[in-house]
Structures are given as C-alpha cells and as structure tokens.
Structure 1
Amino acid sequence: MAKNPLGSQWKTLDRDLNRISQLEMATAYVSRPMIGVGISFVFILIAAFAATIWFGGSEGTLIVAAAAAFGAYMAINIGANDVANNMGPAVGANALSMGGAIAIAAVCESAGALLAGGDVVSTISKGIIDTKAVEDGQVFMWAMMAALVSAALWVNLATFVGAPVSTTHSVVGGVMGAGIAAAGLSAVNWPTMGTIAASWVISPVLGGVIAAAFLAFIKHNIIYRDDKIAAARVWVPVLVGIMAGVFATYLAMKGLKRIIKIDLQTALLIGLALGVLTYFITRPMIHRQSIGLENRNKSLKVLFGIPLVFSAALLSFAHGANDVANAVGPLAAIVHASEFGDFSSKVAIPMWVMVIGAFGISFGLFLFGPKLIRMVGSQITKLNAMRAYCVALSAAITVIVASWLGLPVSSTHIAVGGIFGVGFYREWHMERRLKRAPAPVPAAKAIAPIERSRRKLVRRSHFMTIVAAWVITVPAAAFMSGIIFTILYAIAN
C-alpha cells in the first residue's frame, strides 16, 4: 500500500508548529522577569519627570529629579522585600492566596503611607550623624543621595538572594557611611549606633520568644485537649480579643502619628477597650462557626483564618505608615535642602514624596514580592493558621514593648524572628515528646541521627543566610554609601 505524501506533510507541519509553540513558551518564560524590570524603569522615569515639573527650572532641579528616581527605586525594593514579612505568614498558612495577599498589602501599605504616614521625619535617620559636622548644604545633599542609593542597592541585592532585611537599617547604614566619608568617624553618634546594633539581637529574640509562648499556650489549652472544639470556643475569642487589643494599641501608637499623637498609656487603654469589645463580639461568632466541625487540628485552622487575614492587613497599614517615611527620609532631606538652601534635623515630607513611596511599594510588591513572600511564608518552617497567628501577634507586641523600652527595632527582624521562634519551639517540643514516649521505638522505625538532623523543622540554610544578611546590612550599606558619596562629590566638584 502506497504512503500518503499529504499525511506525511501534515505530520511534518505539526512537528514544526510544536517546535514554534515551545520556542514561544520558552521566550515568554525568559522575558517574563524583564517585564517587571521594564515597568519599574518606567515608574522611576515618571517619578523623576514629576519631580522636574514640580520644581520647574529652579536651581537644584536636576539633583531633586535624580533623588526622586532613586527614591522610587528604593520604594520598589521595599515592596519587593519588606512587605513579605507581613504577608508571608498568612500566605504560608493558606489563609490568603498570593493574589489576595498582594492586593490587600498594596491597598493597606498605600493607605498607611498616604493617610497616616509620618509628616515629619528625621533627615539624619534618628540622630546617627551630627548635623554640625556636615554644615555645607551641598555636602549634606550628596551624603543623603549616597545613603539613598546604597540602601536601595543593598535591599535589591538581598531580595535577589532571598534574604529579608531591614530597609530602615539599610538607610541607617547608608547615612552612617556617607557621614563618615563626608566628615570622618567623629560625625557618627556612636551611642545611637550601639543601641541600633543591640536591637539586631533583642528584637528577633523577643519576637521569637513571644511567638513561641503563644504557640505553647495554644497547644496546651486547645490542641492537646480531648475536646478541641469545646476548648477552641473558650479560648479562640480570648486570643482574637488579645489580637484586637494589641493591634489597636499598635496602630494608636505607630500608625496614626499624622492624624493624632497618642501616648503609650492612652494607647494601652484604647487597646484594652477594643480588646474586650472584640471578645464579646467574636464569642458568639466563633461558637456558630465551630458548629459541625470535626474534633481534629485541621478544623481549628478555620477559626484562626479570618483573624490572620485582618492581622496581615493591619501590619501592612502600620508598616506603610512608619517604614515608608523612614525610607524616603533622605529624599525628603534633599528636597528640603534644595528648596531652602539649608538642612534641619527634622523636615516635613511633601505629599508627592509620600506618593512616590506608596506607589513604589505597590509596584515592587506586585512585580517582585512573591519570591520573598513564599520564602518567609513556607520555606523557613511550615506554618499553619495557628502558628502564623502567633507570629503576627508577636510582631505587634514586640513593637509595643520596644517602644516602651525606647529601643529602635525593625519590623523585618521581629516578624522573621517570630517565624524562627515558632519553628525552633516545634523542634524542641517534638524532641521532648519523643524522649517522654512511654514505649521504646522499634529498631525498624528508629530514625538515624543523620536523617533526624535532615528532618529539622527549621531550614538551617535559610536561617544562616538571613542572619548573615542581618549582621552585614549596616556595614555593607555604609561601605557602599561611603564609596558612592566619594564618587558623587568628586563628580560634582
């Protein structure tokens, strides 16, 4: 029987079309990251153009436009790195999808920055550099420019390697390095730097301890009870009330500075009132929600889901209100120095600067945020709704305690420290239960020491990477800032 030449041609055509479709898919996969870079570049150009229009043809317009471009770049990096700490636990616990987390974070971060963002920021980032040591306005502007560029580059590098770092500490390092390059070591306020260095240890440890303590409480009073649902009906409203009270205190202190200034005692009273009110509101709701649930751990996750979503949203709002102002502080300082020809220890942040910060965070989160959100939410240790609840609650409590003690802390360090605390507590608790097991483990089921070390509940590689990134953030940003300042000042003169 003769072969059909037409059929052979169709087969050849199908193979060729398949190759073309595979090539198109490969091209789309390779070019996808470039789309985010392209959109970011357009946003940076728009920010620079807007600054040029705002200042018109006045002297210093070029410097302000360049600073606005780098400020937009910094804001994009904040969205890509810092926001993951607020949304990661909720995504890792499957309380939020990635798309839902990005949408909520974008709205809440922008709202926090624009509605409650600090209207005044310390231009020298919490008194790190003595203004008397840098009296020349031009030198001061170039120092702030170097701090902004170095902080943005460092956060970008940390995001690339998958390490959540503190953007505030990056700015601190940048300001310190530029100040040393401009006026020497004597320009640095070393006691302030010592306090910040102490917070590297205190804030993550405190966040981890508080998160582990709440997880231990939940395990003892709910998870290990014979009737888990009955225990949850008693304790979940209490835990939700505590969360509401803590977040009310947190927002009153940290998130509403622009609207009204509230001292710690008043904020605690507001938190207590809202916490008690929330308890009485959620008690019947939790009872109705728990009807028909099976008596197992998986059912408990349903009861913690909604509080976890609200906590993530509130953390994002507070982050937008606080950290955005710190991040765009050098830009605000440059704008102030360009307008008035001098500098001050504190300056007002123009609304257009806050808009750049707010929109930059949203773009960075949408385009580059998922990588760090996945890492924080699921790759350090496995999170469920109860563990993620403990992390979110510990973040807010730690900030309140640190404010009471007068310690400058990083929300990044606290949130990631809480995740480590939950993971290490689970490891300790698992080993403790194995040692207390009444019957010896059969030889066939015994786990070899090497295999047991491999099954650790906290991934050691991520732990070492993150801690190393934390330790070198300030010196690395300072070193980069010093070099950048030297180059910029040499070009300008």
Structure 2
Amino acid sequence: MTTLLILIIVLAFIFDFINGFHDAANSIATIVSTKVLTPFQAVLWAALFNFAAFFISRYIIGEFKIGNTIAKTVNEHFITLEVIFAGLLAAIVWNLITWWFGIPSSSSHTLIGGFMGAAIAYAGGFHGDGITVINYAKVIPTFLFIFLAPLIGMVIAFIITIIIVHLCRRSNPFKAESWFKRLQLLSSAAFSLGHGGNDAQKVMGIIGAAIIYQQSTVGNTLTFNEFVIHYSWVPFCSFLAIGLGTMSGGWKIVKTMGTKITKVTPLEGVSAETAGAITLYITEHLGIPVSTTHTITGSIIGVGATKRLSAVRWGVTVNLLWAWVLTIPISAIMAAGFYYVIKLIV
C-alpha cells in the first residue's frame, strides 16, 4: 500500500468515528429526553447495536449495497487517491463544524458532496469534463431521498402514533407509560441497527473506491464485491469505528433532537424510532444511502404533528432544512479547495 492510501484508510476510519459521535443523538435523543436511560447507558446501548449491524449485513443480508453505491457515486475515470483524500478532508471538517454548532446535518451527504466536489475539480470543473464526473444513476436517488427520507419517516411515525393512541385510549396512563419506556429500549436498538447498517457502509464505499483504484494502477481489476471478500477487515473495522464513535456521544445534537423540535414522551419516542428504523431498512434494501439524521428528524416531526401542528417548533425545523440543503454544495466546494491545495503540495 502507498503512503497516501494508508492515510486515506486512517482518515476514513476517523470520519467513521466522528460520524458515530455526530449521529449518536439520532438513536438516543428520545430515549435520553424521556429519561428511559441515562446518557451514558444510552450511548453504550446504541454503540452495541451499531456494531451488531455488521453481523446482520454480512451474514443475514449477505451484501453491502450502500457501500457499493457510495463507491460508484463518481465515475471511475475521475477517481484518484488525491480526489478521495480531498473529499474525506472536506467531510470531516464539515461534520466537525456542524457538530460544534449542534446542527444535525447529514454525514452521508457531506461525504458524497466532498467526493463529487474533489472529482469535479480533478476534471477541470464544469468548464472541463466536470459534467461527466457524476454517476447520475447513483446520485439522483440519493439526492431525492434528502427530501423523501424525512417525509417517509414523518408519515410512518404519524400513522404509528395514531394507531397506538387509538389502541391504548382506555389504558391506565401510568402503566402505559411504563410499558412504552420498556419498548423504547427495543425501538432504540432497532434504529441503532439501521444506523450502523446504513452509515458504516459509506466509509466502506470510500475505502473500497481507493483500494479498487490502487489495484487498477498495477493492472488488477477488482469489483466491489470482490473487494469485500479480499479485504474483509474493512467492513468489520468500519462497523467497529462507528460503534466506538457512538460511545463518545454528541450531546449538543442530543439536545436539539430530543427537546428543541418537539417535546417527546415514551410513546412518541417508540413511534419515532420505529418509523425511523423502518425507513432505514427500506432504503438499505434499495441500496440508497440516506441520512439517518434526516430520517429521525422527520419521524420526530411526524410524532409532534399528531398533537397539533403548532407542537412542532417549525423555526428550528426550517433551520435544519437549510443545513441539509447546503451540506452537499458546501462540502463539494470545500473538497475542491482541498484538492487544489493537495495538488500544489504533492
């Protein structure tokens, strides 16, 4: 392995770790805000199931569709180690900036934006061959699900909440709340499994693209599925890194997700996490990398909307939407800048 390839792999796992603590809030915000678990207990719970997702993807599902999608976001003729390195740097910087300000942005989209921005810079910008850089068959569904994933989560959460409220309308409120607190352990675990299965694969895709490119320079042709077989340590370490990152937590984003969007009860926490998990399982099956942040936010909004639309703090929600929309272009611009700097040095 070349020095740059080793550096890319190390950076990718650092990004994976940052992704874990950046997105820890997604699966534990409601369980912490409803006091089912302490923050420390919650991150341990979430980390365990983020890592457990590896065994489901590897031995039950038997493939890593999302990793394959990420690896093919950019047409292979425009992939170099410098491109991947610049894209990773941009993704890490944007993730840290949004974490610092407590903005639940998408680690998925910053990675994709960074990858594309650096590749477009390599191609000479849109005045050169930049328009042919992007693999639109992979990118367009991902872009559409920036809007569809939270919408799907919102609708499913709304329906689940209405059904539960209807079924439990004659239940003893104290006993019902006690049961829903227990059920939150299951719904949080289900969402953590979806988060691990979705997000850890994105780093796999980046490392896969780098190794496949490196192999091609010495005359070896390697498909993504062959890469997974020959470099089996990459998937394992990707899921381990995101689990360890989750254990470190991300309390600023927990506060935004758990309290600022709408007040969440144990019943509503179960609804939101279950809806989020269902959405993630569907998109993982389709091989579409979505934002777990967008998904759970949409689910929490759906829960809040069952009480009344004014229960959702729409000012906070609009600010989140701006962060989501801007993530890909800002990451792309940053990655292009990093690429030009790297080319001056290398």
Alignment partner, residue 254 of structure 2: 373
Q: Deviations over 1:386-417 (max 9, x none)?
A: 10111112113323555677765333211110
Alignment partner, residue 127 of structure 2: none
Larger Rg: 1
Q: Is the 8 A contact 2:86 2:338 kept in 1?
A: yes
1:174 maps to 2:114 = yes
SS at match of 1:82: helix
Q: For residue 155 of structure 1, report the CA deviation from its aligned partner.
A: 1.5
Match among 10, 14, 24 for residue 83 of structure 1 = 24
Q: Is the 8 A contact 2:208 2:224 kept in 1?
A: no
Q: Is the 8 A contact 1:175 1:481 kept in 2?
A: yes
Cα distance 1:151–1:344, how it changes in 2: closer, same or farther (>3 A)? Answer: farther
Q: For residue 306 of structure 1, report the CA deviation from its aligned partner.
A: 2.0
SS at match of 2:105: coil
Distance across 1 between alignment mates of 2:131 and 2:31 = 43
Alignment partner, residue 109 of structure 1: 50
Q: Name the TM-score, length of structure 2 as normaliser.
A: 0.85
Match among 150, 154, 158 for residue 204 of structure 1 = 150
1:468 maps to 2:322 = yes
Partner AA of 1:395 in structure 2? G
Distance across 1 between alignment mates of 2:40 and 2:26 = 16
Q: Which runs of 4+ in 1 moved over 4 A?
A: 117-124, 342-345, 400-408
Match among 134, 153, 159 for residue 99 of structure 2 = 159
SS at match of 1:200: helix
Q: Deviations over 1:428-449 (max 9, x none)?
A: 3xxxxxxxxxxxxxxxxxxxxx
Q: Is the 8 A contact 1:148 1:331 kept in 2?
A: no
Give the number of aligned pairs: 331
Q: For residue 167 of structure 1, report the CA deviation from its aligned partner.
A: 1.7
Partner AA of 1:466 in structure 2? L
Q: Is the 8 A contact 1:174 1:480 kept in 2?
A: yes
Give ranges in structure 1 of 5+ residues lacking alignment.
1-54, 230-294, 429-455
Alignment partner, residue 189 of structure 1: 135
Partner AA of 2:327 in structure 1? T
Q: Is the 8 A contact 1:125 1:175 kept in 2?
A: no
1:305 maps to 2:181 = yes
Alignment partner, residue 128 of structure 1: 73
Give ranges in structure 2 of 5+ residues lacking alignment.
124-129
Distance across 2 between alignment mates of 1:427 and 1:332 = 46
Q: Is the 8 A contact 1:113 1:322 kept in 2?
A: no
Distance across 2 between alignment mates of 1:211 and 1:115 = 24
Q: For residue 472 of structure 1, report the CA deviation from its aligned partner.
A: 0.9
Partner AA of 1:212 in structure 2? F
Q: Is the 8 A contact 1:426 1:457 kept in 2?
A: yes
Q: Name the TM-score, length of structure 1 as normaliser.
A: 0.61
Cα distance 1:114–1:333, how it changes in 2: closer, same or farther (>3 A)? Answer: farther
Distance across 1 between alignment mates of 2:70 and 2:137 = 14
Superposition CA RMSD, Å: 2.7
